[in-house]
Chain A
Amino acid sequence: MAIVFQRPHALRDTEMHYCPGCTHGIVHRMVAEVIDELGIEGTTIGVSPVGCAYNNYLYFNCDMVQAAHGRAPAVATGIKRVHPDNVVFTYQGDGDLAAIGTAEIVHAANRGEKITTIFINNAIYGMTSGQMAPTTLIGQVTTTSPFGRKPEIEGYPLNVCEMLSTLKGAAYVERVSTHDIKNIRNAKKAIKKAFQVQMAGLGFSIVEVLSTCPTNWGIDPVKALKWVEEKMIPQYPLGNFRGKDLEV
């Protein structure tokens, strides 16, 4: 009998701690599949964030380093400069990357650091129980914007891909989503390309993945996927922002 579905080798045989319906796990799987397909597990070094994915070093089979909140791109820079022939990736949430770690991501991208960032935008701080993130939508209720995010008080959602795509060092910038099968397939293609861009030495690559946090959004997993499609995509349009035609 042909095996049609199995755990990628780059993912360890461990139960993940994510909530039911959370898309963190799906993204882990895609990253691991890409590592398998490119045959790079033995040379890859991942950097875990502070956020719900803080201990994904337990899930990936490659060497892993856990970084301070927002500092993964700086930590990855240190690793990559020591091992320029290895593949180095960071996995970061939107609080991690777009709030406390804004300086680190902007400058890693601007240096054209040859690393790949998987950026999980779930419009909220998941781990610390649902506070407002820089990516929280206008009107979105969170534990620290209980009356809905108001631009005159909390400013506007931060569009990371649009911002980073103005930087020459950012070779590949793409936003994808996890809300249905078709988009998950696209997401995996983008993740693969981002790794290939790094392997070709072309510069910094990032894939922003629109994700769900049913627990802190206070809705069920199915509604959460709908919410991504109907509310998040209008603010965070999908597609490539840089490096679409790169040959890898």
Chain B
Amino acid sequence: MGEKILMKGNEVIAEAALRAGCRHYFGYPITPQTEIAHYFAKKMPQYGGTFIQAESEVAAMNMVYGAASAGARVMTSSSSPGISLKQEAISYSACAELPAVIVNIVRAGPGLGGILASQCDYFQATKGGGHGDYRMVVLAPSSVQELYELVVEAFNIADRYRTLCMIMGDGMLGQMMEAVEFRDSEDICEADKSWAVTGTGMKRDHNIITSIYIDPEVLEKHNQKLQEKYRKIAENETRVEVYNCDDADIIVAAYGTVARIIKNVIKTAEKEGIRVGLIRPVTLWPFPTAAFEKYAQVPQAFLSVEMSAGQMVEDVRLAVNGKRPVHFLGRTGGMIPTQKEILEKIREILK
């Protein structure tokens, strides 16, 4: 391993992307993730790469579509309202099977909302914010170190499956200064990109990147191919952290920065003789259903804690499948659930 340095989450995202071989970034400024763009703007020229501040998020994501078509490792980043604007090209990229990485440093909504940390875009990211039957891999790091590792991983998954990968964080993670240890070099998957548009060189038939299939039979076939790919991704790429769940009285489901709060709650509860487990989905899609199934009969109840009005809890309920009650505690608007209120909720559930 390389040296340990103190860095801001947002800057680590950009640094990790550069280390993963990303040389093309297209974005549009929005709080709380602008440091990502600042970092790229400064560094890209040294790497001979491209940084473009696009005219909008719509354009930025369509530039990503172009660069990915051309075979590049490419990334964009934004926050909630900007991610909404990217949905057009997200859906087109999913259909055209273009690999790319999208970062959403989520802020509280709906609407222009606020700029503080939130997890209110879970539905949008995991259930398809754009139109059509598609999925994208959604990775939810909970520390700056993990942010680095998952950004590198996101590029590899994207290339390996010709899919979109989203990193979902929040302003807390983006602004957090934490020690990060970079590897000396990255394991970069060398994917076959013979499908990309590079110019035929008069040596092969032309390549076409498209998302339009007018013939319903052909489109259905294409959809089946996509679904088969998503099935494979779910089989191979589901990631989850299971912590303290054996003999747990209650198992909390939480991801990202909220999972950090739960780890503190676990310590405090221990002193009261309450054993709290944590299932932390690292991939929000594919959702780690198997982990919940495995522990479904262990605790008295489950509790999903989120910075939302109740989004991931729906997937927890599906996974637990009625075997135990599934409770919910959520804060919205940029408010963060406190250890105290989580602990009170746990006591009340177990009463």
Asked if A62 and B72 sit within 8 Å, CB to CB, the answer is: no
- Segment at the interface with B among A64-72, A221-229, A236-244: A64-72
Name B residues whose Cβ lies closer than 8 Å to a Cβ of A.
Answer: 24, 26, 50, 52, 54-56, 58-60, 62-72, 74, 88-89, 92, 96, 197-203, 206-212, 214
Most chain-A Cβ atoms within 10 A of its Cβ — which of B50, B66, B199, B206? B66
Asked if B92 and A64 sit within 8 Å, CB to CB, the answer is: no
A residues less than 8 Å from B89 (CB atoms) = 68, 71
Asked if A68 and B69 sit within 8 Å, CB to CB, the answer is: no
Bound form: Cα–Cα A58–B213 in Å: 12
Closest residue of chain A to B61 (Cβ to Cβ) is A74
Asked if B199 and A83 sit within 8 Å, CB to CB, the answer is: yes
Q: Given the known A-B contacts A75-B65, A78-B68, A78-B69, are A54 and B56 also in contact in the complex, defined by CB atoms under 8 Å?
A: no
Q: Given the known A-B contacts A62-B206, A66-B212, A86-B199, are A77 and B63 also in contact in the complex, defined by CB atoms under 8 Å?
A: yes
Asked if B206 and A63 sit within 8 Å, CB to CB, the answer is: yes
Nearest Cβ on chain B to A32's Cβ, whole angstroms:
12
B residues less than 8 Å from A167 (CB atoms) = none
Asked if A65 and B197 sit within 8 Å, CB to CB, the answer is: yes
Bound form: Cα–Cα A47–B201 in Å: 17
Closest residue of chain B to A107 (Cβ to Cβ) is B55
Bound form: Cα–Cα A119–B202 in Å: 27
Asked if B59 and A104 sit within 8 Å, CB to CB, the answer is: yes
Question: Number of A interface residues, CB 8 Å?
Answer: 37
B residues less than 8 Å from A55 (CB atoms) = 210, 212, 214
Bound form: Cα–Cα A66–B208 in Å: 8
Q: Is A30 an interface residue (CB 8 A)?
A: no
Bound form: Cα–Cα A159–B183 in Å: 55
Asked if A54 and B212 sit within 8 Å, CB to CB, the answer is: yes
- Segment at the interface with B among A37-45, A143-151, A196-204, A207-215: A37-45
Q: Given the known A-B contacts A62-B199, A66-B209, are A103 and B52 also in contact in the complex, defined by CB atoms under 8 Å?
A: no
A residues less than 8 Å from B65 (CB atoms) = 65, 67-68, 71, 74-75, 78
Asked if A78 and B202 sit within 8 Å, CB to CB, the answer is: no
Asked if B62 and A63 sit within 8 Å, CB to CB, the answer is: no
Nearest Cβ on chain B to A204's Cβ, whole angstroms:
14
Most chain-B Cβ atoms within 10 A of its Cβ — which of A55, A81, A111? A81
B residues less than 8 Å from A106 (CB atoms) = 55
Closest residue of chain A to B210 (Cβ to Cβ) is A66
Asked if B24 and A81 sit within 8 Å, CB to CB, the answer is: yes
B residues less than 8 Å from A48 (CB atoms) = 210
Asked if B26 and A78 sit within 8 Å, CB to CB, the answer is: yes
Nearest Cβ on chain B to A57's Cβ, whole angstroms:
5
Closest residue of chain B to A69 (Cβ to Cβ) is B88
Q: Given the known A-B contacts A45-B197, A62-B199, A107-B55, are A77 and B66 also in contact in the complex, defined by CB atoms under 8 Å?
A: yes
* A71 partner, pick from B58, B201, B207, beta carbons under 8 A: B58
Nearest Cβ on chain B to A103's Cβ, whole angstroms:
5
Closest residue of chain B to A43 (Cβ to Cβ) is B199
B residues less than 8 Å from A66 (CB atoms) = 96, 208-212
Bound form: Cα–Cα A86–B207 in Å: 15
Asked if B66 and A65 sit within 8 Å, CB to CB, the answer is: yes
Bound form: Cα–Cα A77–B70 in Å: 11
Nearest Cβ on chain B to A35's Cβ, whole angstroms:
11
A residues less than 8 Å from B200 (CB atoms) = 41-42, 61-63
Closest residue of chain A to B26 (Cβ to Cβ) is A78
Q: Given the known A-B contacts A63-B200, A77-B63, are A57 and B52 also in contact in the complex, defined by CB atoms under 8 Å?
A: no
List 28 A–B pairs whose Cβ atoms lie within 8 Å, in order of A's numbering. Answer: A42-B199, A42-B202, A58-B208, A62-B200, A64-B208, A64-B209, A64-B210, A65-B210, A66-B209, A68-B62, A71-B62, A74-B66, A75-B65, A78-B65, A78-B69, A79-B66, A79-B67, A79-B70, A81-B24, A81-B52, A81-B63, A82-B24, A82-B67, A83-B199, A103-B55, A103-B58, A104-B55, A111-B52
